[in-house]
A and B are shown apart, each in its own frame.
Chain A
């Protein structure tokens, strides 16, 4: 039952990506292209995707987190860290460069697999390799000495 529900939740997420236009890398790149403002090619749509998503999540989380526990888990796994370490800046900086190069972030890239495009498949394969590599490096003893190990429960 919980598995079916998580499939449905992923489906809703994917539909949101498609309906919003985020599944189209061209639209994402045109949003990031503030240099296109003078020429009128800047596409501000993604600001509306963020606004819609954050508004619903902000209200929904406040209600859900008042419950004693989730429907299919023992407890809520909400991140608790508040420190600003180098990884919270270096990671997103690297991520942002990749995002700006192709116009794909992980959600839309996975949804793009269902469009049947070869390009999406190549991107997702490389993305998974990058993820595995980052988790491997973060676990190396030398790495954990100089930086805080990633909170396994975060995001």
Chain B
């Protein structure tokens, strides 16, 4: 594993930007900024006519590092240690679970907790606990 530095100030600032984005999306479209909900609805069946807006939001997410590289000339560290088979299993579980539980870190963790939703609180506690347990097994049970 790679030790990462504790970055309270930039993490707080970045978190505030995520919050700002969630508030702006509610102001503009009246919808929750849940990335899993937005991403899952890029695929059929289509329940409404918001596909173009969702594509634009996801395009913005993907464009963010391009903008950072354009402005600063470099990108911050990104270490993806998981080998391909683990990435595939992890991706399947993450995508399946996020849809099955009606949301992920953004929809439940940020927007749901901000709305004081009990469902989102249950979801957030559950995925945090599952994430902690998984990392514990992977790193300390060998």
Cross-chain contact B109 with A50 (CB below 8 angstroms): yes
Cross-chain contact B3 with A82 (CB below 8 angstroms): no
Cross-chain contact B29 with A107 (CB below 8 angstroms): no
How many B residues have CB within 8 A of the partner chain? 117
A3 within 8 A of B: yes
Which residues B71-113 have CB closer than 8 A to chain A? 75-82, 84, 86-113
Cross-chain contact B108 with A12 (CB below 8 angstroms): no
**How many inter-chain contacts with C-beta < 8 Å in the A-B complex?**
530
Do most interface residues of chain A lie in helix, strand or loop, or is the interface mixed?
helix
Cross-chain contact B14 with A155 (CB below 8 angstroms): no
Which residues A99-127 have CB closer than 8 A to chain B? 99-107, 109-115, 117, 119-120, 122-127
Contact of A114 among B66, B109, B128 (CB under 8 A): B66
Closest Cβ of chain B to A68, distance in Å, is 11
Cross-chain contact A32 with B103 (CB below 8 angstroms): no
A106 in contact with B4 given A9-B24, A14-B63 (CB within 8 Å): no
Expressed in whole angstroms, the Cα–Cα distance for A79 and B28 within the complex equals 17
Closest Cβ of chain A to B63, distance in Å, is 6
Closest Cβ of chain B to A14, distance in Å, is 3
Closest Cβ of chain A to B55, distance in Å, is 8
Expressed in whole angstroms, the Cα–Cα distance for A151 and B100 within the complex equals 11
Contact of A6 among B37, B56, B63, B130 (CB under 8 A): B56
Contacts of A111 in B (CB 8 A): 61-62, 64-65
Closest Cβ of chain B to A96, distance in Å, is 3
Which residues A137-155 have CB closer than 8 A to chain B? 138-139, 150-152, 154-155
Cross-chain contact B122 with A84 (CB below 8 angstroms): yes
What class of interface size applies to chain A in its complex with B? Answer: 35 or more
Residue interface mask A53-68, B partner, CB < 8 A = 1: 1111110110111010
Interchain residue pairs with CB less than 8 A apart (25): A3-B56, A4-B56, A6-B25, A7-B57, A9-B28, A14-B61, A34-B136, A48-B8, A57-B22, A69-B30, A70-B27, A73-B31, A84-B118, A91-B99, A93-B126, A96-B97, A102-B80, A102-B91, A102-B94, A106-B104, A115-B78, A122-B84, A130-B96, A133-B95, A155-B111
Chain A residues within CB distance 8 Å of chain B = 2-27, 29-30, 32-36, 41, 43-46, 48-58, 60-61, 63-65, 67, 69-79, 81-84, 87-107, 109-115, 117, 119-120, 122-135, 138-139, 150-152, 154-155
**Which 3 pairs across A and B sit closest by C-beta, in order of nearness?**
A91-B101, A10-B60, A20-B14
18 additional A-B residue pairs with CB within 8 Å, beyond A4-B56, A71-B28, A95-B101: A3-B56, A10-B57, A11-B60, A17-B64, A21-B4, A56-B20, A61-B114, A70-B26, A70-B27, A79-B102, A95-B93, A95-B98, A96-B131, A105-B106, A111-B64, A114-B66, A130-B98, A155-B108
